[in-house]
Amino acid sequence: MRLLVVEDDADLNRLLVNALKEAGYVVDSARTGEEGHYLGDTEPYDAVVLDLGLPEIDGVTVLERWRKAGRTMPVLILTARDRWSDKVAGFDAGADDYVTKPFYTEEVLARLRALLRRASGHATSELDCGPVRIDTRAARVTVDGNPIKLTSLEYRLLAYLAHHQGRVVSRSELVEHLYDQDFDRDSNTIEVFVGRIRKKLGVNVIHTMRGLGYRLAPPDEAEDLDAQR
């Protein structure tokens, strides 16, 4: 999952970015409304943490512009303001949730997990696919109850497919959502990571759809398209 943090306070920006990266997310950041608007308008984020009191362009205006342009990613607004009218303005602009400063980073993480779940149609933090269970709260994967050790990138790939279970996800989409803005992206590496994940899981829940991408589904629900052709 790829997130954007738009916060002008350097220390708070760094705190949020580090906390989100430690939680397993890929994170880009901006410190002005103009930069944040540009990134949110040109890059495919799964969710955004957006401060309202930004220089150059305020957060409400940034959010209004995104929504008018058809950007639908979930947005969690941060505000030091305690007036209910400011919160209402954020929601009316298209925000999905808010946190008032000061806050605990654990609360921000929990609210983001909830936004990501709802955006993909899931009600709990545990995502099941046949014998595979992914606990997004603890970034933990098990098969038939047995823990599976994955690298950070392997976990992010599996978790992204799990959030979009049943849908065919292209390699280019995976690349866009697994790597940050400055990473040297190569879609060919996705096939390598999928192979490693399959080997570690020991069950084939990641089905290759030749020429299209990958689809996460229980082993008995769909056959690997490569085996069918």
CATH number for position 197: 1.10.10.10
Confidence of residue 228 (pLDDT cuts 50, 70, 90): very low
Give the pLDDT confidence score for residue 181 in this predicted structure.
64
The domain in which residue 58 lies consists of: 2-119
Q: Name the domain count of the chain.
A: 2
Regarding whether 136 and 114 lie in a shared domain, the answer is: no
CA distance 26 to 179: 6
Regarding whether 111 and 136 lie in a shared domain, the answer is: no
- Sort strands 47-51 and 213-216 into parallel, antiparallel or unpaired: unpaired
- The pair of structure tokens assigned to 218 is 């229980």
The last residue of one of the domains, among 60, 88, 119, is 119
Contact 61, 34 (CB under 8 A): no
Contact residues for 44 (Cβ-Cβ < 8 A; gap 6+):
2, 73, 173, 176, 177
Regarding whether 38 and 8 lie in a shared domain, the answer is: yes
Regarding whether 190 and 93 lie in a shared domain, the answer is: no
The position carrying tokens 């052709």 is 229
Task: Tell me: pLDDT of 24 over 80.
Answer: yes
What number of other Cβ atoms are within 10 A of residue 71's Cβ?
18
The last residue of one of the domains, among 119, 141, 163, is 119
Task: Tell me: pLDDT of 89 over 60.
Answer: yes
Regarding whether 52 and 75 lie in a shared domain, the answer is: yes
Regarding whether 32 and 79 lie in a shared domain, the answer is: yes
Regarding whether 93 and 8 lie in a shared domain, the answer is: yes
- The pair of structure tokens assigned to 181 is 């803005």
Amino acid in position 118: R
Regarding whether 171 and 147 lie in a shared domain, the answer is: yes
pLDDT digits (tens, 9 = 90+) for 201-213: 999 899 999 889 9
pLDDT digits (tens, 9 = 90+) for 110-144: 999 999 988 888 778 899 999 999 998 888 999 99
Regarding whether 146 and 37 lie in a shared domain, the answer is: no
The last residue of one of the domains, among 89, 119, 149, is 119
Question: Can you give the CATH number for the domain in which 52 is found?
Answer: 3.40.50.2300
CA distance 70 to 77: 18
Regarding whether 115 and 208 lie in a shared domain, the answer is: no
CA distance 51 to 60: 9
Regarding whether 104 and 17 lie in a shared domain, the answer is: yes
Amino acid in position 150: L
Regarding whether 98 and 45 lie in a shared domain, the answer is: yes
Indicate the range of 28-32, 103-107, 148-152, 216-220 predicted with least confidence: 216-220
